Amino acid sequence: MLTIYHVPGTRGVRAIWLCEELALPYTVEAVDFSPEFRASDSWRAMNPVGKVPVLRDSEHSSTDDFLMFESGAMVQYILDRYGNG
Ligand SMILES: N[C@@H](CCC(=O)N[C@@H](CS)C(=O)NCC(=O)O)C(=O)O
């Protein structure tokens, strides 16, 4: 399952749009866009540069979830892994 940590009106819509186009199951988690939250250790562990979006792929491996940032890279990842050509 793909989870997109997103703030409405920001770049996370790129990954959301692609999931819709590919008819992939995904969920959207709302992120607190405040500078304080984005500076927090918990968020920096998910996105070291403190921005949004973040993508989680819980089916990347049998042991660990896969986390990534950079929306353009997310699009490429989703296409490579789930685009089916
Ligand atoms: N190149 C990054 C840019 C990420 C980015 O700048 N996100 C904006 C929202 S669209 C953000 O978090 N801005 C807050 C900030 O720059 O402090 C990507 O495409 O994911």
Residues near 71 by Cβ (< 8 Å), separated by ≥ 6? 11, 12, 14, 15, 53
Tell me whether residue 61 is in a domain. Answer: no
pTM: 0.95
Instruction: Check residue 73 and give its pLDDT.
Output: 98
Tell me whether residue 60 is in a domain. Answer: no
**CA angle in degrees (0–180, nearest 5) for 75-77-82:** 95
Q: What is the three-class DSSP state of 1?
A: coil
Q: What are the average pLDDT values for consecutive 10-residue runs of the chain, which has 85 residues?
A: 97 98 98 98 97 96 91 98 94
Best of 7, 11, 32 for a ligand 1 pocket test (most atoms within 8 Å of beta carbon)? 11
Instruction: Check residue 35 and give its pLDDT.
Output: 98
Cβ–ligand 1 contact at 72 (below 6 Å): yes
Output the CA 62–ligand 1 centroid distance in Å: 30
Containing structural domain, residue 36: 2-54+66-82
Number of domains in the chain: 1
Instruction: Check residue 63 and give its pLDDT.
Output: 84
**Which residue has a Cα nearest atom 1 of ligand 1?**
70
Could you tell me the CATH number of the domain that includes residue 70? 3.40.30.10
Tell me whether residue 42 is in a domain. Answer: yes
